[in-house]
Structure 1
């Protein structure tokens, strides 16, 4: 998710630092957020909680860091339309962001809603599409305008091997003077299970697609790192550690640690 560190202390001056958690362009969706997950697989009907705490730091001048928690609710519905299995998502996010020696802000980020569909291609392969958005909100850590998001991707899940690729196109919905560009994210995951353990790697990139105004400096970045996970039986935890290997107009490289805590909340009875 894009977390707004501008919070009334000067958007233009902080854009070069990175106005959101660690490294990403103006994407509302935090680049890398979908990594580590079999995002387009079809699950048993039920409600799942994927809680995502994360912390990122950018050693810019001044330095910037942010802690956030996103309880992501995923409902796998029993409904099929034309072979597509439908699902729905909802996620609020709470953030605490800090520019060293300047200011600290805390509050809720823009709430996310989505509806998706997945198709089972057979032999462990799935494709999916999701239409979603972030609603406009007030507060120090939210944008007053919203964002529409189109997401497509591919998942392979078989014999403990997970591969997922997700492409995300976001379009901010603004009126008047535009401050946010359209943005594109690409998230990648490749992991293998060894008993209850899961080991692998994740990578993600993001880029602005246009300049909403003449003063905007387009940003892009690419990051990667390891993933380690463990299945505790009633829930699963995955830890991801990433760092930028390339960036433009962020000032410095970003380092981030993020966890996916996957908890089945309710499962339909057979």
Structure 2
């Protein structure tokens, strides 16, 4: 297990208030776990993980969305049923704008807190179940105006320098605020996929992610808003500076439907650049070995 595995525990997610733009399904920003072996247990310790991304979606006018997710992860020495207990907390920030509209908002997004249990299944395989909540707090014009219960199931293969991972998420929203344009908020599925290989300190590969919106809020049909769905692909590169690890990837939608963000073009595709840094803050063990891509 390598230090980069910790980032798999630290993901959080973004969305938009229905008053301002089309929300991502179930609050989750698809692609946030791409590049990570979310199914693998972590070395015991405390870690700081920061994921920063910037995307532009062709929605006439273009929607521009910057997301910064600073997170703390505690990989505990405790277990349940042979699986390691993990605690994850994050205070994400977001900046959303649309050219020519006058809309330009920056602030705190819904705070996130979750617990997870990760099992080492042997022969390079690992499985993790995560469950947590996005709280109805943060900037009124950016946050989801509801509480979201998020559940993830992740399966990873990390032997021989490989990271082959599928992370499936379903999220339910409830307790929608009165100021929302609709009386409920969206639920949905997200699937993040990773296929990378390490070569010494370098990691190379490809990532993909898709989403499908369920549980449309009342009033969406009357407003002409359909069920959103998309799928994106792109290359990833990572480098282990020991002990700090950096990753970056560039993704582009190859399919997008009903993704209108503050614009009139419902099927606009997004191009997004991602960076991630992983820093160990404390560990009772000796320094981690060089990156072997077991994220």
In the TM superposition, 1:116-155 aligns within 5 A as: 116-139=116-139, 140-155=141-156
Distance 2:190 2:227 in 1: 14
Of residues 234, 239, 247 in structure 2, which corresponds to 1:238?
A: 247
Secondary structure of 1:27 counterpart? helix
Greater mean deviation of Cα atoms: 249-258 or 167-176:
167-176
The answer on whether the counterparts of 1:130 and 1:150 sit within 8 Å (CA) in structure 2 is yes
For 2:73 and 2:156, locate their aligned partners in 1 and report how far apart those are by CA, in whole Å. Answer: 17
SS in 2 for 1:110: coil
- By relative contact order (CA 8 Å, sep 6+), the higher-ranking structure is 2
Q: Alpha-carbon deviation of 1:209?
A: 1.6
CA–CA distance in structure 2, aligned partners of residues 165 and 138 of structure 1: 30
Runs (4+) off by over 6 Å: none
**Partner Cα separation in structure 2 for residue 138 and residue 127 of structure 1:** 32
Q: CA deviation at 1:62?
A: 1.4
Indicate conservation of the 8 Å contact 1:5/1:97, yes or no.
no
Alignment of 1:41-60 (within 5 A): 41-60=40-59
TM-score computed with the length of structure 2 as normaliser: 0.83
Give the drift of 1:145.
Answer: 1.3
Residue of structure 2 equivalent to 1:168: 169
CA shift, 1:138, in A, is 4.1
| Preserved contact between residue 74 and residue 90 of structure 1 (Cα < 8 Å) | yes
Displacement, 1:73? 1.4
**Distance in 2 of aligned mates of 1:97 and 1:5:** 11
Shift of 1:164: 1.0
Aligned partner of 1:209 in structure 2 is 214
Structure 1 position 188, deviation (Å):
0.4
Per-residue deviation at 1:217? 1.7
- Aligned with 2:232 (options 205, 223, 234): 223
- Per the alignment, residue 188 of structure 1 pairs with 193
TM-score scaled to structure 1, two decimals? Answer: 0.90
Provide the residue aligned with 1:106 in structure 2: 106
Q: Which of the residues 8, 16, 27 maps onto 1:4?
A: 16
> Contact 2:189 / 2:212 at 8 angstroms: preserved in 1?
yes
| SS of 1:152 mapped into structure 2 | strand
Q: CA deviation at 1:5?
A: 6.1
- Runs (5+) with no aligned partner, structure 2: 1-12, 260-265, 287-295
Task: Could you tell me which runs of 5 or more consecutive residues in structure 1 were left unpaired when the two chains were aligned.
Answer: 20-24
Q: How far, CA to CA, are the matches of 1:166 and 1:269 in structure 2? A: 28
Please give the alpha-carbon distance, in whole angstroms, between the structure 1 residues aligned to 2:167 and 2:37. Answer: 10
Q: Deviations over 1:231-266 (max 9, x none)?
A: 111211110110000011122100001112111111
The answer (yes or no) to whether the contact 1:117–1:128 under 8 Å persists in 2 is yes
Do residues 259 (structure 1) and 272 (structure 2) align? no
Aligned to 1:22: none
Aligned length: 257
**Structure-to-structure mapping, 1:14-25, within 5 angstroms:** 14-15=21-22, 19=23, 25=24
Q: Which moved more, 1:185-194 or 1:215-224?
A: 215-224
Shift of residue 269 of structure 1? 4.1
